[in-house]
Amino acid sequence: MARIFITGSSQGLGFLAGQLLIEQGHKVVLHARNTERAEEIRAKLPACDAIAVGDVATMDGMRSIADQVNALGKFNAVIHNVALGNKEEYVKTSDNFSELFAVNVIAPYLLTALIERPERLIYMGSGMHRSGDPALSDPQWFNRPWNATQAYSDSKLHNLILSMAIASRWSDVLVNAVDPGWAPTRMGGEDAPDDLVKASSTQAWLAVSTDPSAQVSGGYFYREKQCSMHPITDEVDVQNNLIQYLKTITGVELDSRESL
Residues 6 or more apart from 155 whose CB is under 8 A from it?
A: 100, 101, 104, 105, 132
Residue 43 domain flag: yes
Sign of CA dihedral 58, 60, 65, 69: positive
Q: Which residues are catalytic?
A: 152, 156
Query: Which CATH number does the domain housing residue 113 bear?
Result: 3.40.50.720
Does 259 reside within a domain? no
Residue 76 belongs to what H/E stretch? Answer: none
**Cα three-residue angle 220-223-229, rounded to 5 degrees:** 25
Q: Is residue 172 part of a domain?
A: yes
Say yes or no to pLDDT of 259 above 50: no
Say which range, 37-46, 139-148, 175-184, has the weakest mean pLDDT. Answer: 175-184
**Model confidence pLDDT, tens digit, residues 4-52:** 999 999 999 999 999 999 999 999 999 999 999 999 999 999 999 999 9
- Residue 189 makes CB contacts below 8 A (sequence gap 6+) with none
User: pLDDT at residue 82 above 60?
Assistant: yes
Kindly state whether residue 258 falls inside one of the protein's structural domains. Answer: no
Largest Cα span, the chain: 49
Number of domains observed in the structure of the chain: 1
Q: Residue 154 belongs to what domain range?
A: 3-250
Quickly count: other Cβ atoms within 10 Å of residue 33's Cβ: 17
Q: Let me know if residue 102 belongs to a domain.
A: yes
pLDDT value for 255: 78
| 3-state SS, residue 189 | coil
Residue 76: phi and psi, rounded to 5, are: -75, -35
Would you say residue 187 lies in a domain?
yes
Does 198 map to a domain? yes
Q: pLDDT tens, 182-225? A: 655 555 455 555 666 677 899 999 999 999 999 999 999 999 99
Give every CB contact of residue 205 below 8 A, 6+ residues apart in sequence: 211, 214, 224
Tens of pLDDT, residues 57-72: 999 999 999 999 999 9
**Residue 117 belongs to some domain of the structure:** yes
